[in-house]
Structure 1
Amino acid sequence: MVAVSDTAAKLRLALADHVGSPGWRQALEAVPRELFLGDAVYRADESRGDRWIPVRRAEVGVDEWLSLAYTDATWVTQIDGVMAEDATGVMVGQPSSSSTFPSLVVRMLEAAQISEGETVLEIGTGTGYSTSLMCQRLGQEAVTSIEYDQEVAARARKAITEAGYVPTLVVGDGLLGYGEDAEYDRLIATCSVRTIPWAWMWQVREGGTITAPMRGWMGGVAFAHLTLADDGSASGRFLKDDLYFMTARSHLPPPRPPVTTGFGDARRSRIDPSILRDDDTALWVAQLAAPQVQCSWGEDKTILLDVSTGSRADTTPDPAGGWTVHQHGPIKLWDEAEKALLVWEEAGRPHQSGFGLTVTRDRQYVWLGDPDGPSWDLPA
């Protein structure tokens, strides 16, 4: 009979082969991912997107659990604050913590250009798997990780300790960073943010980097990689990967009430509204122009809503051809989004990597092409 440890080692080797990262291969082969899934995970109910079925290690058996752990897949570990091992049955809700695809974790670490001899601040410990990969490669003394959710943090600490690592683990608001061990060579966020928190800026050394997925209220995403300058600012182009994680809880949009459509000032739209649903970069660009807006779609409608001001816009097909937009409230939401999209189209519709981000004490702004090109301020 093959020992469990031998089986797990073979599966780790296969996972490392699949991920194909020379720099992180040894860590992938060494870190036992099954420890970081705890005693249960959630599996999505294919019949309904917000239903989650607990899968328990004790019920599926060792072989299936190891196979599950070493599949290159994301396993949800918490739904709306309820850990999978605490679920009494099928859960309805939204994921609030997970063990992300190992290949995606490694892409994040590679994008941050982390290497031996550097110190790292990780925002979002999660299950602790990425934390342990860094401990294995860099040494545990080089890794500091902070987690907001106390229960998630306790679970991660247990798994990281069982795996044999003792990094600096902090329970707190990752958006404030952790100044006690600053300055860091690299800061990486394993949660998506709407803007770059200023506290991160002074905790990274000159020439160091901040690597963070960004996601706004429309759902547009971009992957930021910034280098700190000697004047305390940071700047860099977005990366080619459209990589993102769960959004930091304080950066989530407010609840969206039902919206009445079809009233307000009417005009013809100069763009096809379906571009916001069909093109990820277009959604990102529209979001730059209207960062306070949430977007939704009906059968033949695109709806924009600003909860804070009550401004709204909706588009419908015009029987004569094209689209009619109705706008109501103090801000003409479609006007703002449309203007930005026309600038983007004139520039040749570049991917997010054709844009960059500059962060100073006074403002954060996204620019197209180069820092002197068209730009849009991110929310304060």
Structure 2
Amino acid sequence: MSTPAELRTALADRLTGNGVLTDCEWESAARAVPRELFVGAYFAPVAGSVPTGYRPVREGELGWLEGIYDDRTLVTQLDGRIGPEDVAGQAAVTGVPSSSSTLPSVVLRMWQQLGAEAGHRVLEIGTGTGYSTALGAHRLGDTDLTSVEYDPAVGAAAAAAIKAAGFSPRLIVGDGLRGDPDRGRYDRLIATCSVRYLPLPWLHQVEPGGRILATLSGWGYANALALLDVTGPGEATGRFLADQASFMIARPHDRPPRPTLDLLPGDESPTLIDPATLDDRTGGWVAQLAAPAAIRTGAGAQQILWDLSTGSQARTAPDPGGGWTVTQRGPVRLWDRVERALQHWQAAGAPREDGFGITVSPAAQRVWLGTEDGPGWDLPI
């Protein structure tokens, strides 16, 4: 059986070999920080279960250590309150993942993309298990790193693990969307949760010339990773990156509990857009930009959009005569908005996320396609 050090070395070798690790300082961090200190137990999804069931995997069990050094996300909490230690035996439970240890490859790639170096003051939003924080402390030192965690129980566990790993960055339990409550000034900000829009406190705490790296998500759960340069107080501009990063949405930005969806009659019309376009990674992102208050279910030709703020609905279906039809009801014509956005995107050649940019001011946050004067959509701030 392999030792933790051997598994850690093998993981770092894979990430170096496949081009994820390109900076020798971050490679050193990957080889030094023991992930098993931060994930004493985790949930493994039960294959084929609907809804997804999760089985606890505890320290010392067969496959526990190998799972930790597999390059995958490890779910550590469900529904904001259930941990592996709360589940008896090997029983499977259902729930919505609310905390996790993200894939090491994603965490390390993002740290490199942030461009943080020794001497930079860095604010991390979302301590989580503390693994990412420890990597940052190894590379940057304790003094210039601050990390904020929303959940007190998660934050306490992370603090203990970070200390056990030999690091002592500044750790805060609080609402990371408000930034550092002491109003410190930073050169870099990295978020390991996703947000519907860039919180203005972040834009005021990062110095002009500094950078913010964050994942923009929404109630459709499409994600895109943005790297922004702060140009002034409350102002920034940047572009989305080709690399995908999917994080749990910050709890204050998460969608509200939804009632049972009743599909009601509405106005029927043909659509020129194949509804399956929404199943494409970027297609779903564009649809979310056009209808940011909508959740999406279904797949292929049968998509359902439901606006939680107005009750508006749109649902598609194949037309027996060919093509597709859409039924819409409510004050917001959801599919009309999505169709126009997808047509703009397709006319531009259907680029991936790095074909989009973002401009932020105190008054608005606008995602645009191609260039700043191209088609655009305002984020819901």
The structure 1 residue matched to 2:221, chosen from 207, 219, 225, is 219
Q: CA contact under 8 A between 2:204 and 2:233: conserved in structure 1?
A: no
Alignment partner of 1:326 is 2:327: yes
Distance 2:326 2:86 in 1: 47
User: Contact between 2:57 and 2:64, CA under 8 Å: does it hold in 1?
Assistant: no
Q: 2:276 touches 2:301 (CA, 8 Å); kept in 1?
A: no
Report the equivalent of 2:158: 156
The code of the aligned residue for 1:327 comes to: Q
The residue type equivalent to 2:6 in the other structure is K
Q: CA-atom RMSD, angstroms?
A: 1.7
Kept in 2: contact 1:123–1:174 (CA 8 A): yes
Match of 1:77?
76
Secondary structure of the corresponding residue to residue 315 of structure 2? strand
Distance in 1 separating the partners of 2:67 and 2:321: 54
Q: Is the 8 A contact 1:191 1:246 kept in 2?
A: yes
Q: Structure 2: how far apart are the matches of 1:231 and 1:74?
A: 35
Deviation at residue 298 of structure 1 after TM alignment: 6.1
Specify the SS of the correspondent of 2:157. helix
Displacement of 1:127 in angstroms is 0.4
Q: Does 1:313 align with 2:314?
A: yes
2:204 counterpart (202, 219, 234): 202
CA displacement, residues 323-364 of structure 1 (integer Å, 9 cap, x when unaligned): 111111111111111111111111111111111011100000
How far apart in 2 are the matches of 1:168 and 1:110? Answer: 21
Residue 341 of structure 2 corresponds to residue 340 of structure 1: yes
Partner of 1:374: 375
Q: Which moved more, 1:186-195 or 1:301-310?
A: 301-310
Q: Shift of the alpha carbon at 1:368?
A: 1.1
2:54 maps to 52
Q: Does the Cα contact within 8 Å between 2:137 and 2:145 map onto a contact in 1? A: yes
Q: Deviations over 1:170-224 (max 9, x none)?
A: 0001111104262111100001111111110101011101100111111221111
SS of corresponding position for 1:96: strand
Distance 1:12 1:227, change over 3 A: same
Q: TM-score, normalised by structure 1?
A: 0.93
**Partner amino acid, structure 2, of 1:356:** G
Deviation at 1:281, TM superposition (A): 1.0
2:177 is equivalent to residue 192 of structure 1: no
Do the aligned residues in 1 keep the contact of 2:312 with 2:334 (CA within 8 Å)?
A: yes
> Where in structure 1 do 4 or more consecutive aligned residues deviate above 3 Å?
256-262
Identify if the C-alpha distance between structure 1 residues 331 and 66 changes in structure 2 by more than 3 Å, giving closer, same or farther: closer
For these two proteins, the number of residue pairs brought into alignment is 371
* Kept after mapping to 2: 8 A contact 1:262/1:314: no
Verify the 8 A CA contact 1:313 1:328 in the aligned structure 2: yes
How far apart, CA to CA, are the structure 2 residues paired with 1:73 and 1:314?
A: 34
Q: Secondary structure at the match of 1:180?
A: coil
Decide whether the 8 Å contact of 1:143 with 1:168 is kept in 2: yes
Q: Which amino acid aligns with 1:105?
A: V
* 3-state SS of paired residue (1:115): coil
Asked if the contact 2:195/2:215 (under 8 Å) is kept, the reply is yes
How far did residue 9 of structure 1 move?
2.3
| 2:195 counterpart SS class | coil
Q: Secondary structure at the match of 1:210?
A: strand
C-alpha distance in structure 2 between counterparts of 1:179 and 1:253, whole Å: 25
Q: Distance in 2 between matches of 1:221 and 1:130?
A: 20
Residue segments in structure 1 that go unaligned for 5+ positions in a row: none
Seen in structure 2, the aligned counterparts of structure 1 residues 286 and 299 have a Cα distance that, compared at 3 Å, is closer
Checking the alignment, whether the CA contact within 8 Å between 2:121 and 2:187 is kept in structure 1 is yes
- Matches of 1:145 and 1:287, distance apart in 2: 29
Structure 2 unaligned regions, length at least 5: none
Specify the SS of the correspondent of 1:343.
helix
The alpha carbon displacement at 1:321 in A equals 1.2
What is the deviation of 1:227?
0.4
Residue identity (%): 50
2: CA distance, partners of 1:261 / 1:181:
47
Aligned AA (2:349): G
Moved more, 41-50 or 370-379: 41-50
In the other structure, the counterpart of 2:117 is 115
CA contact (8 A) 1:294 1:306 kept: yes
Q: TM-score, normalised by structure 2?
A: 0.93
Aligned partners of 1:50 and 1:94 also within 8 Å: no
Query: What does 1:1-380 align with in structure 2 at a 5 Å threshold?
Result: 7-20=3-16, 21=21, 22-38=24-40, 40-48=41-49, 49-60=51-62, 64-80=63-79, 81-88=81-88, 89-180=91-182, 182-230=184-232, 232-261=234-263, 263-277=265-279, 279-297=280-298, 300-380=301-381
User: Any conservation in 2 of the 1:206–1:232 contact (CA below 8 Å)?
Assistant: no
Q: Whole-Å Cα distance in 2 between the matches of residues 31 and 316 of structure 1?
A: 51
Distance in 1 between the 2:7 and 2:325 partners? 56
Structure 1: distance between partners of 2:264 and 2:318: 12
**Counterpart residue type for residue 79 of structure 1:** L
- Are residues 96 and 267 of structure 1, via their aligned partners in 2, closer, same or farther at CA, if it must alter by over 3 Å? same
The CA distance in 2 between the partners of 1:260 and 1:57, in whole Å, is: 44
Cα offset, 1:259, TM superposition: 3.3
Contact kept, 8 Å, 2:126 with 2:149, in 1: the verdict is yes
Name the CA shift for 1:168/1:181 in 2 (closer, same or farther; >3 Å).
Answer: farther
